[in-house]
Structure 1
Amino acid sequence: MSDAALCHPLPAPVPAAFRQVPVPGGNLACWDTGGGGPAVVLLHPGTGSHAVWGYQQPVLAAAGYRVIGYSRRGHMGSPATDDPGCAAEDLAALLDALGVARAHLLGCAAGAIVAFDFALAFPDRVARMVLACTHMGLEDADYAALSASLRPQGFAQMPGDFRELGPSYRAANPEGAAAWLALEHAAIPAGRVEQRRLNRLDRAALGRLAMPVLLVGGDADLWAPPPVFRIFARALPGSELVILSECGHAAQWEQPEAFNAAVLGFFGRR
């Protein structure tokens, strides 16, 4: 891959309506492109917010989708609350408020964990689901030990761009890395909120997902390298797996053309 292939100017966004959506005990910042096409809900990483989808929003909208992005509690525009609530229940309340009965879900990193939990609890509300660049939050003891062994002590305290962005991207696109870091710094103004789950998330739970699932990983992802994604694929019969080359934990930002092509091909399938 050439250096030029790693440098992607942000496309112009399409118009979207911004609003605060009430959920039990709080409000979520949300944007919605509207339209009559199938809905796609974007679930941001733990380092992000509704603002991190600049490479996806216009592309999905141009393909005819109604694109919805929102911030979970404690992230940009969505105040933290005394009761952190449940992220899957918040998503259900958001869809109800927007009049969306069923949607495609695209979750990255921590957002993929929320999508996983939501799909277990509300399977009839999920058409197709993309789970990208995530350790999936699996609670199996052997998997948790394996996952923890991949990163040294103190890794979570290392700079965000080192943890999340692959070295190829940081070397070839320092301006893009700086733009990503600015979004990360703005994403969580008052500290991360740990929300409740509705389900135990383990390999058996992956096997209960009935909707079509696309797994997308990066070959330089320090959180979930390709062998970890193959664990997920084996636990998810019928799932599809795409591994992007020279890509870290932020595939939607580092490799947007390849990422978007995989997502559009998957969502567009009948």
Structure 2
Amino acid sequence: MTLSHDVAGDGPTIVLLHSTVCDRRMWDPQLPALTGAGYRVVRCDLRGFGDSPMPDRPYNNADDVAGLLDELGAEQAALIGASGGGRIALEFAARFPQRTTALALLCTAVADHEPGERLRAFGDQEDALLEAGDVAGATELNVTAWVGPHADDATRDLVRRMQRHAFEVQLAPQEQEYGSIKHDVDLSAITAPALLVSGEHDFADFHAIAVRLSEELAGSRHLHLDWAGHLPSMERPDELNPVLLGFLRETVPA
């Protein structure tokens, strides 16, 4: 299955991997900035998000990204990943280092992280709401948890619509449910330069992950934003876009 996607611009390829509270629409504020700077931008919806249906066979997200790049004729790409999209970007960069030119990871997750008390409590509350059939309540919980205080109402509404749609797709009855294929991932295999962004108003877990990765990944640096929640690319794109462009101009000049 090919992931639903769109492509804009010309130049070095940049792949945008969305947070799992969102879909590829979260990158609307970045698209004109990146294409205007001379990059070919690929946005995709992961399986079960946006316009991509649930999987019809066992799957792996990083393999899906590799397959999409193959289809588009892109041998290499820089990856910008938010939260769960960052976790996928890390796996891709570790398994396909020769194909990865740079990594920009925004409030990234990582596969082996043990969640802290607040994050576990959030997960328990979300599970309880969904088990009770309260999709609207679970949606609002996610908006409250993941959107930072400096986001405007339009941003909150978009996150609300993206998350509600994801729940509807993922909770719909399936003929058969297929799990994700797990691969052994050695992050020390990553060779691409990496920018790790965390936010002051996010769960502490994501700051800790950024600090840890900045120590483990050669050629990486950590930027902590005092204004940001979990979705800085949506909350203040006018401040985040220059950060991304500056990093890309250094690592993948157009």
Task: Verify same fold: TM over 0.5.
Answer: yes
Sequence identity, in percent? 28
1:123 Cα deviation after fit: 0.7
Distance change (3 Å), C-alpha of 1:197 and 1:132: farther
What code does the residue aligned with 2:180 have?
Q
What code does the residue aligned with 1:122 have?
F
- Aligned counterpart, 2:220: 239
Q: How does 1:17-32 map to 2 (within 5 A)?
A: 26-32=1-7
Query: Does 2:71 align with 1:102?
Result: no
Report if aligned partners of 1:134, 1:223 keep a CA contact under 8 Å in 2.
no
Measured in 1, the distance between the counterparts of 2:31 and 2:167 equals 21
Other structure's SS at 1:242 match: strand
1:223 Cα deviation after fit: 5.8
Other structure's SS at 1:240 match: strand
Q: How does 1:176-255 map to 2 (within 5 A)?
A: 176-191=155-170, 195-200=180-185, 205-222=186-203, 224-255=205-236
- Aligned counterpart, 1:16: none
- Aligned counterpart, 1:149: 117
What code does the residue aligned with 1:230 have?
V
**Deviation readout 1:170-213 (Å, 9 max, x if unpaired):** 5xx2333123212322345421786333233xxxx333311101
What code does the residue aligned with 1:198 have?
H
Report if aligned partners of 1:40, 1:105 keep a CA contact under 8 Å in 2.
yes
What code does the residue aligned with 1:27 have?
T
- Aligned counterpart, 1:164: 146
Report if aligned partners of 1:106, 1:131 keep a CA contact under 8 Å in 2.
yes
Greater helix share, 1 or 2? 2
- Aligned counterpart, 1:262: 243
Q: TM-score, normalised by structure 1?
A: 0.78
Report if aligned partners of 2:80, 2:103 keep a CA contact under 8 Å in 1.
yes
Q: TM-score, normalised by structure 2?
A: 0.83
Q: Which moved more, 1:152-161 or 1:94-103?
A: 152-161
Q: How does 1:23-42 map to 2 (within 5 A)?
A: 26-35=1-10, 37-42=11-16
Distance change (3 Å), C-alpha of 1:256 and 1:97: same
- Aligned counterpart, 2:131: none
Other structure's SS at 2:4 match: strand
What code does the residue aligned with 2:78 have?
H
Other structure's SS at 2:169 match: coil
1:129 Cα deviation after fit: 0.8
Q: How large is the Cα RMSD of the aligned pairs?
A: 2.1
Larger relative contact order (Cα-Cα within 8 Å, sequence gap ≥ 6): 2
Report if aligned partners of 2:22, 2:159 keep a CA contact under 8 Å in 1.
no
Task: Report how many residues are paired.
Answer: 231
Unaligned residue ranges in structure 1 (runs of 5+): 1-25
Report if aligned partners of 1:134, 1:224 keep a CA contact under 8 Å in 2.
no
